[in-house]
Structure 1
Amino acid sequence: MRLALVGLAIWMGYEAAQWPSMRAFYSAEDKWAHGAAFFAVWFALRWATAWRPVTLALASAALGGAVEVHQMFLPGFSPSWADWCADLLGISLAWALAAACGRRPAPV
C-alpha cells in the first residue's frame, strides 16, 4: 500500500512538473529541483519498502534515467546527462544522511 502511495505521489509530481507555469517556476534552478526531487524519492521509497539502501539507490537512479529518456519524446523538453547527475547527487545525499542517522523507520 505504501509503495502504491509513493508511486502515485511520484506520478503526480512528474505530471505537475510538466505544466508550463510550473516549468517557469523551477527552470532557473533545474539542477536543484532534480537533486531535491530524487532526494525525496529515495526517502519515500525507503519509507514504503524494506529494500536495502543500494536497491533504493538503483531504483531511484533507474527512475531518473527513465525520466530523461521520456523527455526525448516530450515537446519542449530535452534529456540531459547533467540532470541525471543531479538526480544521482540527490540520491547520494539521501543515502549519506540516512547512514549518518543510522535508524530505519519501524515497519507498520
Structure 2
Amino acid sequence: MRQDDHPADDQPDGGAELRRSIGYVIQANDWVVLSDPRNLVPGRHVVPLIVDRKADSTVRKAPARLGNTLTTAQLTELDRQVDKDKKGPEDVASAYAQEHGLVK
C-alpha cells in the first residue's frame, strides 16, 4: 500500500492506496472507499489556530460557525478547486464563506 498526501498521478500501484486530502481524485476515478471500523488509520481534523490576544469575539466564534456548516463533501470540493483547478486558497475560502453566509 502506498501512502500519498498529494499524488503525482492518479493511478494506484498494487491496487491499494491510502490517500488523504484529495477526495476529489477518489471520486473522479470511481475508486472504492473502504471503511475503517477499527480506526487503524487515524482521522484528520481541521483545527483552527487563533492568536487569542489578537482575536475579537467575531474571530473566536468563527470556527464554531464553520464547523456547523462545512461538510466533508464540501471540504473535498474546496480541496479540488485549490489542488486541481489551481485557484487561490484565499479566493476559494472567501467564496465559500460568502456563499454560506459566514461573512457579511
TM-score higher than 0.5 here?
A: no
Which interval holds the TM-score relative to the shorter structure?
A: under 0.3
Structure with greater proportional strand content: 2
| Higher relative contact order (Cα pairs below 8 Å, separated by 6+ residues) | 1
